[in-house]
Amino acid sequence: MVATCEDETNTETCVDSDGDGWSVDCNDCNDADPTVNPGAAEICNGADDNCNGTIDEVLMPMQMVLQSAAEIVMMQMQRLILQPQKLC
């Protein structure tokens, strides 16, 4: 199967093994799994589904929100803990 990749200049080497429409030359980072290609949606599975080099990046915004929220709580707790010591 020939990949329908954006780069039409290298169709000779565009061999799509898993038949998802993307070849290794067209940034298919796993040409043995049709669910993994640059056009795939990133899902939480511990793998880089959309071949952008980042695993499960869809979860990052929520992780960042939780992390920043945790940091704010920590800062406030530290302030509460440290303030009496400063006053002494």
List the one residue from 11, 33, 38, 56 that touches Ca ion (CB under 5 A): 56
Of 45 and 86, nearer to Ca ion (C-beta) is 45
2, β-bridge pairs: 15
Q: What is the 8-class DSSP label of residue 2?
A: B
Counting residues that bind Ca ion (by CB under 5 A) gives: 15
Burial of 29 (0-12, 13-18, 19+ CB in 10 A): middle
Quick one: which of 48, 66, 83, 86 contacts Ca ion (CB under 5 A)? 48
Q: Which residue is nearest to Ca ion (CB)?
A: 28
